[in-house]
Amino acid sequence: MASLVEDNPSNSDSSDMLIETARRCRREIVKMTHRAAAGHPGGSLSAIDILTALYCRRLNIDPQNPDDPERDRFIMSKGHASPGMYAILHESGFISEEDLTSFRKLGGVCQGHVDMKWTPGVDFSAGSLGMGLSFGIGCALAARLDGSDRTTFVMLGDGELQEGQVWEAAIAAVHHEIGNLKVFVDRNRIQNDDFVDKQMRIFDVAAKWDGFGWAVREIDGHDMDEILSAIQWLDSITDGPAVVIAHTVKGKGVSFMENNPKFHGAAPNDEQLAQALEELA
């Protein structure tokens, strides 16, 4: 099972290995969406550094026993970022390279949105945005009732924060003092139709979470050392829920996708794929 216990965030060799894993995942993200001629590369690329750190250094999980009741839970609330999830699940040994080719195919292991009925290692079936934090609260409270030390991690998108259910759940998590609930917000500033601030401004995200009573930390969501340090900080908060606001770049790693709302939900064509793979070589 993966663990952060022996990892030192200042260890450059460890960080370099994670950066290389994230690079391979980025290549799979653009290849998956190109094959399917559909999908959501932008938010997958913005989130993959965090996913890599969690899956390779922190989550207590076992690809040989994906349904272990004592496993940690990871809830991908922004479930359209499924190419990122599938890429890191492949790197972690949960699914095969052949499974990746089933992305968005009828009956395939890798559906368009993450789905726990189809994919080993997925703990939440996504669809409409805004539900993942509520689901995560249920997982965390179940662990408490079981007397288990397992932890629940949730990833939210910043456009998703426009959903009222997120804030209802945020209040509930503080009320129940859920110390085994940890959240990452992928603050890439772009949602389906355009930049978040053009659709509906959400202003100071960190201040909002703080006002709801959460422990809050802000990081560069592409700096692997900062991510690892933030994970250790999350684990140090035990008296209530904690959130990391990760400032990221939509489409990170592919020049023509970076900060480009068009690639929230658009696949690269043949020429764009070639360019992306060259940049990610």
Contact (CB, 8 A) for 250 and 264: yes
pLDDT at 30 over 50: yes
For the four alpha carbons of 246, 251, 255 and 258, in that order, the dihedral sign comes to: negative
pLDDT class for 14, splitting at 50, 70, 90?
A: confident
How far CA 127 is from CA of 80, 90, 107, 112, 130, in Å, comes to 8, 22, 17, 10, 9
Phi–psi pair at 34, nearest 5 degrees: -65, -45
What pLDDT shows up at residue 128?
92
Taken as a whole, the chain contains a residue count of 281
pLDDT per residue as tens digits for the range 158-188 = 999 999 999 999 999 999 999 999 999 999 9
Tell me the two tokens of residue 45: 């690329």
Q: How far apart are CA 64 and CA 104, in angstroms?
A: 25
**Close Cβ partners of 256 (under 8 Å, ≥ 6 residues apart):** 263, 272, 275, 276
Question: Which residue, chain included where needed, has tokens 């930049």?
Answer: 195
Rounded Cα distance, 181 and 201, in Å: 26
DSSP assigned state of 3 = -
Burial 186-214 (b: 16+ CB within 10 A, else e): bbbbbbeeeebeeeeebeebbebbeebeb
Tokens of 89: 């699940």
**What structural domains does the chain harbor?**
12-279 (3.40.50.970)
pLDDT tens by residue, 100-139: 999 999 999 999 999 999 999 999 999 899 999 999 999 9
Strand order through the sheet with 152-157: 73-76, 152-157, 181-187, 242-247, 215-220
Report, as an integer, the average pLDDT of 83-99. 98
Which tokens sit at 54? Answer: 């969690």
The mean pLDDT value for 232-249 works out to 98
Residues 214-237: pLDDT tens digits? 999 999 999 999 999 999 999 999
Nearest residue to 134 (alpha-carbon basis) of 88, 80, 170, 176: 170
Its sign, for the CA torsion 35, 31, 83, 204, is negative
Q: With left for phi above 0 and alpha for psi between -120 and 50, is residue 80 left, alpha or beta?
A: alpha
> Could you give the percent of the chain with pLDDT greater than 90?
95
**Distance in angstroms (rounded) separating the CA atoms of residues 76 and 135:** 10
Non-local (6+) Cβ contacts of 93 within 8 A are 63, 64
Q: Does the structure show a pLDDT above 70 at 12?
A: no
- Residue 78 clears pLDDT 90, i.e. is over it: yes
CA-to-CA dists, residue 117 to 90, 107, 108, 123, 272, angstroms: 17, 11, 11, 9, 33
